[in-house]
Each structure stands twice: as structure tokens, then as C-alpha cells.
Structure 1
Amino acid sequence: MDQAHTMRAILQPRYGTSETLVLGHTAIPTAGPGQILVQVRGAGISRGTIHLLTGLPRVMRPFTGLRTPRRRIPGLDVTGDIVAMGKGVTEFHVEQRVFGIAKGSLAEYAIADAKSLAPAPTGLDDAHVAVLAESGLTALQSLDAARVEPGTRLLIIGASGGVGSYAVALAAARGAEVTAVCSSAKAEAVTSWGAKHVINYQREDYTTTQHKYDAILDIAGGTPLPQLRRILADDGTAVFVGNETGGPWTGGFEKSFLNAARMIPKRQRYAVVTARTRREELERLADIIERHHIVPHIHRTYPLDSVPEALDELQSGGVCGKIAITI
């Protein structure tokens, strides 16, 4: 292989744990029609990265590869500089700094669909921009689904994680009254992001409060629907943002659709959010980040060759905010 046309990358030959990942060399990809080649400055890891690593839940394998991953290089979140553009891409220019979602961002170069990138927000370094797109978009669209506006009494369950950290900051920027559920060790950080109230789930059952919320974001917690409805206002909205409590086949996602069906005859609303990656949404997110001077919370930054260790730390449950990978 011609060394001049190769790059360093994290390679994933099969589904498994972080031990299956190796740092190696592979060919620099070529941008096809509607695609952009990005020289990666930074990348992010998330629960989505872990799902693609493990191949779980198995219901997603028809799309990711039945026996082995279709993508040899993992990674989604990206920021970097445009090196080349495929046919039909006219809205960007070479050397422009961008961010968004790429195919295989844990490498020195990555391919992204043009519609999945936007100009990077100013005022943030590469590490902070690198962790913005996936979790930031999920949080933004969850707040939209919950109809959060100034004065909304909002409860965020799982407020200290990647999506939760953005949800707190973006909701506070909208003028919502945010109550965050997290551990005591992360309470100070969550308060600094804009939470007005913090509930320590280790000492207090947030589902037994007499307080009613206009909206609830349940992030990866799988709180039973009757308990959510008990603390939700009569015309309130509960938003389901993923589930890490299910089994290996469906991951518990079927619960969200059953809950939505149960809520059809009720005044209370129930919404299921799966983040959409569109340039317009990325641009909206970047604009909010710039106008409100929001700085993503980075728990730790790792170099490319330490991606396995970074994924292990993310799975440990002790991460507050996001983990960034520098290239």
C-alpha cells in the first residue's frame, strides 16, 4: 500500500468489546457524489459508538452488518477541514472547518455526506466542536418534541451524560426552569450548565415528588410510564430519548412505542426521539452555541491510539458530559 495515500485509523474487524479495536493503517477514502473528504481534527464517542462496536441490540444488524460490521472504521462525531468534495457539492469550500456526522471519524481522514456537515461554530477549540453534533442534535430535537419554551418546568432524567449535558444547557438558554436528576458527584457540574434544581437519585425518588412538570426528558433511563405520568402535568409531554436497560435483541426500544400507544387516549403527550442529522439542524445548533456562549462539557480527552480506553471509561458510567478524541 502506497504510504503517501494511507492514514492512521481505528480498525474494527468484528463485533465485540474495545479489545477488538486496533490502531492501523488503511487507504485514505475518496469522496463520491454528494460527499466530502474531511481531514479530521477531532472526533467524539458516544453510546452510539458502543452500539456499533458491540452490534447490540441485534435488531440494528440488518443495517450495520449481520455477522461483521459493514464499516471497518467506527466513529460518528467529527470536526475537521475539508480536503476534497465530490460531484454536486457546491455549498462548501476546500479548507473550510466543518462539524457533523461522518462515516468512520476515528481516523485521520473521514467521508461525510454533505448534508450531514455544517460550518463549525466559532469560539470553540477542536475538542469541544468534535463532541457537539450527535448528542447536541439529540438534545435539541428532544427539547423541540417536549415543546420547551421560556418558563417550562422541565425534568431531565440522566442529566449528566452526553445528551443530558446539552439538554440542560440548551433548555436553560430557552429560559426553562430545569430540574436535573443525577448523582451527587455530578451535581455541581450540572448546576453550572444551567439547572436550577438538582435531585440526587441516590437519596431521593424523583417519581414520588408532589411537584408537577410541564415536560420530562427520560434519557436512557427507561423510567416506567406510570411513574412518569404521576409527576407530569395534565397537558404535559414526556419524551423518551433512548434506552440502555433492554435486552440484546431490541435494547428495550419496543417499550417506547408501546408507551406511545398507551398515551394516545390521554391528554398527556409521549414522544420518541431519534435524532435527525440535517445541515439545517446543525446550523441551528451552531447558532445557539455561539449566541449563548455554550461550551460543551468534556470529561476527558484521549489521543487516537487510546480509543479503546476511552470507550471503556464511557461504559463505566462515571463520565460527566462528553469524551473527545484528538487526531
Structure 2
Amino acid sequence: MLALVQDVYGTSDVLRLEDVDRPEPAADQVLVRIAAASVNAADWHIMRGEPRIARLMDRGVFGRRGPRERIRGRDLAGTVEAVGAEVTGWQVGDEVLGEDEATLAEYAVVPAACLVRRPAGLSVEQAAALPLAAITADLWLTAGEVRAGSRVLVVGASGGVGTFAVQLAVARGAAVTGVCSTRNLDLVTSLGAAEVVDYTRDDVARAGASYDAVLDLVGNRTLRDLRRVVAPGGTLVLSGGGNPGEGRYLGPIGLMAKGGLFGRLLGLRVRIPRAEPDAERLTELAAMAERRELRAVIERTYPLADATAAMRHLEVDHARGKIVVTVGS
């Protein structure tokens, strides 16, 4: 089968399409014939091995010279091709979506517990865009205790996680302010944001407004700056974020470490949740998407043959929403 692989850390130039052996499902796994996959910030972090401290913190993902898993990708939508001996509830031909690893390929093996059924009204491209980004957005809002009437600031509102976070916060009844660049103002407004701040013109940290929940999905501000925009009793939720090539050694991990160590001293309630595959949450999000209560913003799709270009787009061009790679015919 064809797969997007790498053997050493680096930019998207180290990626190549290669013919590799088709995997066989273990007892608790499902073999999925991939129809579409999407790329996430996690993919370039792993591809580049950045920030470098992550190579020491997560030895299960990061090897010495390159990622332990050669094939890139996390999200998928496709069709069940085979099931492991202990798998129940799935059968050949089922249409699924989910999250694991090594999904930028024609086939992938996925733990059965990481898959959910693809609603009939959801295209494979829309389904593939959901898992990691939408689950992360929903988890971050839960960590920020976002509810009806909350004032929410989303820094990085036009990215993959950000576009879902804006919509899900609005769905909870919150008043959302998004932060993005000039070209994305209309997009973020269309997602339901009550206000949008153009960071190229205005500094939200010095505008004087404060919010019950601040979701920082970029990680390039100081803890003191972020403190200014968190209302008394509010919550600061920190994500990975960062930009390729910037902060190569510590990156946003430095901000998260400071938040964990010094947040309380600064009078901040800081949350740093860790997103994991969550079938129950993904089922709910997919149902919302089918009902058109949540939409995946897909800036561009690429065929698997151009998957390196898809990764380069994410790495260099700061994608609006999601980039999807189509695999099946």
C-alpha cells in the first residue's frame, strides 16, 4: 500500500510516498481502508521533532533521529476492511471515522474503541476533519467551564481547533471573541463569534476586556499578557500551539510549564488538558455535524499523491481550518 513516511526529523522535505506492507489487525484492532484523512498541528510537531524537549518527554512517540511511527497522520474516515479476533460491534463494510496514528496511507489498523460510525449525511472529507481537532476543542471548553452566558476568548480562532472551538462555545450559549489575522476576520465572524480581534492591528492583551475563559491555542504570548485578559474567577486553558521553527527547544511547553508552576501565584486558574481519542465525544460531535450544527472548515483537499504538499501547507501557510487528504476513489 502507499503511505506518507519519514525516517528522520525535518521539514516536510523529509516526507515521501512509499509502497509499504499493508498492516494486519491485532485481536482488538480494525483494518480500515482509508477514504480521507486530515492533518493536524500534532503532525508537524512529530514530523519536525519540535519542540525538542518533547523528544525527551514522550519516548513512545519520539525516537532519537526520527518518529517511532514512520507513517504520518492521525485522523481518518473510511471503510472497515477486516476485524481482529476479539472485536465485536464492527463488521466488514461499516463506514467509520476515528483517530489513531499512521492514517496518511491507503490502509490503517485502529483500536476498535477509537472508531465511531460515520453518519450517512457526513461526507468522508467532513468526517476526516473532525476527530482530533473537534475533540480537542470540546475538551478545552469543558476544561474552561464554558457554559451559557460565559465570555470566551479564543486565541487562534481560525485554525483547526479554533474554528471548532468558536462554534462549540457558541452552541453552549457563550459570547465568543476570536483572535485571528486580517484575512480570517469574516470566517471567524461567520462561525458565530460576537467579536473578532485582528492581532495584526490590535493587541487583545491591552484592550482592557476580560473573559471567563481564555483558550490560548497559539502559545506565543507571555503568562502575564494572558493574565490581563482572564476575569477574576476565570480560567486560562493552555494548548500546544507554536509555529514551526520557532521556539525549537521549548516552544509552547515553556508557557505551559510556567502556567502550571506560577499560575496560582499570579492569581490564575490554569488548565492544561490532554486530548485523547474519545469515541463517545466524537459520536456526539459527528451527530452535530450531520445536523449542520457544527461544520468543518476545510481550506483545501489534496490527493494522497500530494500529501507532502498538504503537510507543507499546514507547516508554512497557517491553514484556515483543516487540510484534508483524500485517499480512496
TM-score normalised over the length of structure 2: 0.92
Provide the C-alpha distance between the structure 2 equivalents of 1:318 and 1:10, rounded to a whole number of angstroms: 21
1:219 deviates by 0.5
- CA deviation profile, 1:72-128 (whole Å, cap 9, x unmatched): 211111111111111321122221111111321111101111222211234221111
- Please identify, of 89-98 and 195-204, the stretch whose mean Cα deviation from structure 2 is larger: 89-98
Q: After TM superposition, list the pairs within 5 Å mapping 1:291-310 onto structure 2.
A: 291-310=291-310
Provide the C-alpha distance between the structure 2 equivalents of 1:266 and 1:221, rounded to a whole number of angstroms: 18
- The corresponding residue for 1:19 is 13
Contact 1:173 1:292 in 2 (8 A): no
SS of structure 1 residue aligned to 2:188:
helix
- The corresponding residue for 1:275 is 275
1:194 deviates by 1.2
- CA deviation profile, 1:190-234 (whole Å, cap 9, x unmatched): 111111111111111101122221111001233212222222111
- The corresponding residue for 1:39 is 33
1:251 deviates by 2.8
Q: Residue type of the partner of 2:71?
A: I
1:265 deviates by 5.2
Q: After TM superposition, list the pairs within 5 Å mapping 1:144-163 onto structure 2.
A: 144-163=142-161
**Residue 47 of structure 2: which of 33, 40, 53 is its match?**
53
- The corresponding residue for 1:28 is 22
Q: Residue type of the partner of 1:278?
A: D
Q: Does 1:193 align with 2:191?
A: yes
1:141 deviates by 0.3
- The corresponding residue for 1:326 is 326
Q: 1:265 to 1:251 in 2, by over 3 A?
A: closer
Q: Residue type of the partner of 1:205?
A: D
1:254 deviates by 3.4
1:143 deviates by 0.3
- The corresponding residue for 1:202 is 200
Provide the C-alpha distance between the structure 2 equivalents of 1:124 and 1:290, rounded to a whole number of angstroms: 6
For structure 1, the residue ranges without an aligned partner over 5 or more in a row are 1-6
- Please identify, of 266-275 and 48-57, the stretch whose mean Cα deviation from structure 2 is larger: 266-275
Q: 1:191 to 1:122 in 2, by over 3 A?
A: farther
- CA deviation profile, 1:150-195 (whole Å, cap 9, x unmatched): 1111010110011101101111111110100111110111111111
Q: Residue type of the partner of 1:12?
A: Q
Contact 1:38 1:110 in 2 (8 A): yes
Q: Residue type of the partner of 1:271?
A: R
Provide the C-alpha distance between the structure 1 equivalents of 2:214 and 2:77, rounded to a whole number of angstroms: 31
For structure 2, the residue ranges without an aligned partner over 5 or more in a row are none
SS of structure 2 residue aligned to 1:242:
coil
Contact 2:29 2:109 in 1 (8 A): yes
Contact 1:158 1:221 in 2 (8 A): no
Query: Percentage identity across aligned positions?
Result: 38
Q: 1:212 to 1:247 in 2, by over 3 A?
A: closer
- The corresponding residue for 1:167 is 165
Contact 2:127 2:286 in 1 (8 A): no
- The corresponding residue for 2:255 is 255
- The corresponding residue for 2:118 is 120
Provide the C-alpha distance between the structure 2 equivalents of 1:111 and 1:100, rounded to a whole number of angstroms: 11
Runs of 4+ in 1 over 6 A off after TM superposition: none
- The corresponding residue for 2:316 is 316
Provide the C-alpha distance between the structure 2 equivalents of 1:132 and 1:92, rounded to a whole number of angstroms: 20
SS of structure 2 residue aligned to 1:214:
strand
Q: Residue type of the partner of 1:281?
A: R
1:292 deviates by 5.0
Provide the C-alpha distance between the structure 2 equivalents of 1:215 and 1:68, rounded to a whole number of angstroms: 37
TM-score normalised over the length of structure 1: 0.93
Q: Residue type of the partner of 1:148?
A: V
SS of structure 1 residue aligned to 2:88:
coil
1:278 deviates by 2.3
**Residue 80 of structure 2: which of 79, 82, 87 is its match?**
82
Provide the C-alpha distance between the structure 2 equivalents of 1:125 and 1:53, rounded to a whole number of angstroms: 28
Q: Residue type of the partner of 1:36?
A: V
- Please identify, of 256-265 and 316-325, the stretch whose mean Cα deviation from structure 2 is larger: 256-265
Give the paired residue count.
Answer: 321
- CA deviation profile, 1:225-264 (whole Å, cap 9, x unmatched): 2222222111111100113166333333132132123223
- Please identify, of 30-39 and 89-98, the stretch whose mean Cα deviation from structure 2 is larger: 89-98
